[in-house]
A and B are shown apart, each in its own frame.
Chain A
Amino acid sequence: MTAAVLHREPPKAPVDNSSGLAERVFRIRESGIVVVLVLFVAVTAGLQHRFLSATNVQFVLVNTVIFALLALGETMVVVSRNVDLSVGSVLGMSAYLSANLFGSHPSIPIPVVFLVGLGIGLGWGMLNGLLVSVGRVPSLVVTLASLYIIRGIDILIVGGNMVTANTLPTSFTDIPKDTVLGIPYVAIVVAAVVAVGAYYLRSYRSGRDLYAIGSNPDAARLAGIPIGRRVFMSFAVSGAIAGVAGVLWAAQYGTVDSTAGTGYELTVVTAVVVGGVAIFGGSGSAVGAALGALLLATINSALYVLGISSFWDQAIAGFLLIFAITLDRIISVRLTAALRLRSARRAA
């Protein structure tokens, strides 16, 4: 595009232009993950056809489900320039307490168990949210502390006990196994939930507010956004989601002790950042974060299928995270330079 062409555009054009550009960047971010994902699947499937077998695809999808859910909550928190490190501990406590209900009340309906998990998570999430928004304690500190505290309480409750799969009804443990047209139906449900969450973040006022808070808290306050309320809500939702994910975790693994979900917080943050959500807030989408979770699960499975030791798994995930943020940075630097050049041309 030459300068002459730009000059002939009507005065309204620059606004349209920049928003179009911003949208394209959003698309680049997610399409980048999709490209990596497709490449990974193609190469692995080329080397080992078993990779695309129905069983393996189901396996990968079920593995993704829990992290994709957690990533949705984490995205809401991270775009508002906060972080929730307590999700692993919340998941662990909810997994034990909800699965334990089947032992004490054998006839309890499954939806009630999910509600209990949600309630446990919501409670912890609200506590995190209160400390961050009202107590004005940095979220890194709050959730690092609650990571310890929730896990500690979980250990006190659980002690040396564990819930074993034989105390759980089959209708519960079958939840991750049931399929519709070969696709596990939890994967469909979670995909729908992520889609709703992404739509909410992108198109609803309170969702957009989270981005505004994340990109510039001071400006957001001056613009009249109720920062405290929004941040509180994001933590409450993240906690509630972790609670539900805990129930799913129990259904999937069957055996729950006090170590369930240990260390998940870092995997979730990795998935979210690989998925293109900026760690200092303001940009990224829930769909990207879910794709990040899918990518991590795919790599995990690809290594297994290719017979590469799973000991490479972590190193690759770490490398990928650094690669993702480096690439993101380079793109944004280029973009800023291009935008500056363009506005300089326009001014000339």
Chain B
Amino acid sequence: MQHDTVPTPGLSEPGAPADRPQSAGVRERYPWAFRWETVLALIVVVIAVAGTTASPEFLTSYNLFNLGLSNGEVAIMALPMTLIVISGEIDLSVASMLGMSSCLLGFLWEKGWPMPVIFVVIAVVGLAAGAINGLLITRLGLPSLAVTIGTLTLYAGVAQILLGPNTVANFPATYTNLGVNAVPYTDGAVSYSAVIFVVLAVIFGVVLHATGVGRSIYAMGASSEAALFAGIRVKRVKTVLFMISGLVCSFAGVLYTFRLSTSVANNGVGLELDVVAIVLVGGVSIFGGKGSVPGVVLGVLAFVGIQNALLLTNFNQEASGIVAGGLLLVSVFLPNAASVVRWSAARYRLHAAKTS
């Protein structure tokens, strides 16, 4: 991860604003039009239109329901990941925490534990798993990339130890119905996981964009040291973020288990890459300090929409990674390329002004 930052055009061009060409004026007058979120919203609209023309089933309530259902967990896990990445860290162990919680659910249910007790245990284990990540990263000062690759393997290993080759599938229907039924009065279009995602997105959005804690998360992502000197408890906030990630991922694991009505050791393997891809597509900078919850919600829509549109057009579903990967690349490459172009243009103008 090279810290190759492109100098901001504003800094390299201190000249009077009157000298600026028309495009800069447009940029200043309509700043929202140049935000990544706007571009993403357009992409989402294009996907929706293209999807509808490609297949009349795209915007039906049945398809929307399945869309929300089969991507609910990934979308939910993307929310705490957003905060963690903005704070300048990364959590690659999310899918393993989902898998561990799923296996714990199956393991304890088979042992005959009552469901409410199991939920409490899973929540505690999730918090503990997140706390291990957070403490190793903040107190020992280890890089989060390495730590969470380690705990990714460790927690997936715990899941394997818990269940081994077994499959637990005899969950009571009252719970598994929650996983596959639609929320009442929504015309069968909205799954429970979609509702939970929306509620959590609002909570995370408010915390990030409208509270002091949220501002401090941006601050520590921009500069951990500066944030510390500004009196922000960087280590504590980061640890709490990782614990929340653990809790939310455990919860996603419960949803995942009830949706599939099965608990097996490899539940959720590999989902961490989807989660990271969604967050980055949503415009969050991998270096921290930049990004927004609305952007990530749009990122979820774009990511999920593309995969679904391809599915309906009989494109080989497993190969949809090509488009997902392409979207990820474009989402980071385009803004970069744009700023490189703008910067060179500014330098060229500066050079021209000097020589004339």
A contact patch SS: helix
A335 at the interface (CB under 8 A from B): no
**Interface-facing stretch out of B48-56, B140-148, B187-195, B224-232:** B140-148
Quick check: B319 and A153 within 8 Å, CB to CB? Answer: yes
Q: Using Cβ atoms and an 8 Å threshold, which residues of chain B touch A295?
A: none
* Of the residues A151, A159, A322, contact of B136 by C-beta under 8 Å: A322
Quick check: B2 and A318 within 8 Å, CB to CB? Answer: no
Quick check: A318 and B328 within 8 Å, CB to CB? Answer: no
Quick check: B333 and A137 within 8 Å, CB to CB? Answer: yes
B218 at the interface (CB under 8 A from A): no
Closest to A269 in B: B149
Quick check: B332 and A137 within 8 Å, CB to CB? Answer: yes
Q: Using Cβ atoms and an 8 Å threshold, which residues of chain A touch B328?
A: 141, 144-145, 148
A142 vs B265: C-alpha distance when bound (angstroms)? 30
**Interface-facing stretch out of A68-76, A169-177, A200-208, A309-317:** A309-317
Quick check: B325 and A81 within 8 Å, CB to CB? Answer: no
A231 at the interface (CB under 8 A from B): yes
Min C-beta distance of A239 to chain B, whole Å: 16
B87 at the interface (CB under 8 A from A): no
A266 vs B145: C-alpha distance when bound (angstroms)? 11
Number of interface residues of B (CB under 8 A): 53
Closest to B323 in A: A152
Q: Provided the pairs A270-B153, A318-B150, A321-B153 are in contact, do residues A217 and B325 lie with their beta carbons within 8 angstroms?
A: no
Quick check: A315 and B154 within 8 Å, CB to CB? Answer: yes
**Interface-facing stretch out of A4-12, A46-54, A110-118, A128-136:** A128-136
Min C-beta distance of A207 to chain B, whole Å: 18
Min C-beta distance of B287 to chain A, whole Å: 7
Closest to B269 in A: A263
B164 at the interface (CB under 8 A from A): yes
Q: Which of B277-326 contact A (CB under 8 A)?
A: 277, 280, 286-287, 316, 318-326
Q: Which of A225-276 contact B (CB under 8 A)?
A: 227, 231, 258, 262-263, 266, 269-270, 273
A318 vs B96: C-alpha distance when bound (angstroms)? 11
Q: Using Cβ atoms and an 8 Å threshold, which residues of chain B touch A319?
A: 150, 154, 157
Q: Which of A67-105 contact B (CB under 8 A)?
A: 80-83
Q: Provided the pairs A135-B333, A315-B160, A315-B161 are in contact, do residues A144 and B146 lie with their beta carbons within 8 angstroms?
A: no
Quick check: B142 and A325 within 8 Å, CB to CB? Answer: yes
A313 vs B265: C-alpha distance when bound (angstroms)? 13
Q: Using Cβ atoms and an 8 Å threshold, which residues of chain B touch A146?
A: 325, 329
Q: Using Cβ atoms and an 8 Å threshold, which residues of chain A touch B321?
A: 148-149, 151-152, 155
Bits for A323-343, please: 1 = Cβ < 8 Å to B, else 0.
Answer: 001100100000000000000
Q: Using Cβ atoms and an 8 Å threshold, which residues of chain A touch B158?
A: 315
Q: Which of A203-221 contact B (CB under 8 A)?
A: 213, 217-218
Q: Using Cβ atoms and an 8 Å threshold, which residues of chain A touch B320?
A: 152
A-B contacts, 8 of them at CB < 8 A, read A136-B4, A140-B286, A149-B322, A280-B1, A280-B143, A309-B164, A312-B160, A315-B158
Which residues of A does B touch, CB under 8 Å? 80-83, 131-132, 135-142, 144-149, 151-153, 155-156, 159, 213, 217-218, 227, 231, 258, 262-263, 266, 269-270, 273, 279-280, 309, 311-319, 321-322, 325-326, 329
Contacts A136-B336, A322-B150, A322-B151 known; 5 new A-B pairs at CB < 8 A: A81-B2, A152-B318, A152-B325, A155-B316, A273-B150
